[in-house]
Amino acid sequence: MPEISDSELALLREEAERLETGRLFFARPWQFLRSSPSIETLPPIGDTEVAFAGRSNVGKSSLINALTGQGGLARTSNTPGRTQELNFFTPGPGLMLVDMPGYGYAEAPKPLVDSWNRLIRDYLRGRVSLRRVYVLIDARHGLKANDLETLDLLDTSAVSYQIVLTKADKLKPGGIERVVAETAAAIARRPAAHPTIIATSSEKGAGLDRLRAEIAALAG
């Protein structure tokens, strides 16, 4: 078995410390703060905000529940389009997680869907406390046209974002590596995209430690 160099050992220790920091950060009790149906009802700007965006039924609420270890924190549903407002969650001063309405499909009248989409666009363009948007992509389907439209908006708005693949456990062995590579190639030239893609499974817990560490680092 090859020996591990001092530099490699240092990197391993650093990564372990990052993961532990993330675990402890999310081990705190989280609570629902408020729902905002409009820009006028948003919380005051101050704490760092991290938002979760994605197509309807991609698993945003389930991922928030899995990250926090609180199964009933964010309301989940099998009905696409159930999240209709910006929902804010916090463990206390310093950070808010934002569960955004899904885009692309919803069982609701078109005027209402258009209103949700305007809310999403206005929030992404004008929220100075927003540090990063995690764009959730169903690993089984990859990037779709409405995902690319959202990435375009984030790029033009200079809002940092990172791709999170959900439902990675639903793929056959070797499938997730292919999807990660294809997604990385698709976003390689996008100016606001974080280069690291995180594959997750809310059901199995895969990748959650890495995502917790990323968010904890943003919160400082």
Contact 134, 164 (CB under 8 A): yes
pLDDT at 34: 93
Contact 98, 87 (CB under 8 A): yes
* CATH number assigned to the domain comprising residue 64: 3.40.50.300
pLDDT at 106: 56
Domain span including residue 112:
6-219
Structural domains counted in the chain: 1
Backbone CA torsion sign across 101, 45, 63, 134: positive
pLDDT digit of tens for each residue in the chain (220 aa)?
567 887 888 888 999 999 999 999 999 999 999 999 889 999 999 899 999 999 988 999 999 999 999 988 998 755 544 467 899 999 999 999 999 988 876 556 677 667 777 888 889 888 999 999 999 999 999 999 999 999 999 999 999 999 999 999 999 888 999 999 999 999 999 999 999 999 999 999 999 999 999 999 999 8
Does the residue 1 lie in any domain? no
pTM higher than the cut 0.75: yes
Q: Which residues contact 168 (CB under 8 A, 6 or more apart)?
A: 139, 176, 199, 200, 201, 206, 207
How far apart, in whole angstroms, are the C-alpha atoms of residue 24 and residue 5? 29
Does the residue 123 lie in any domain? yes
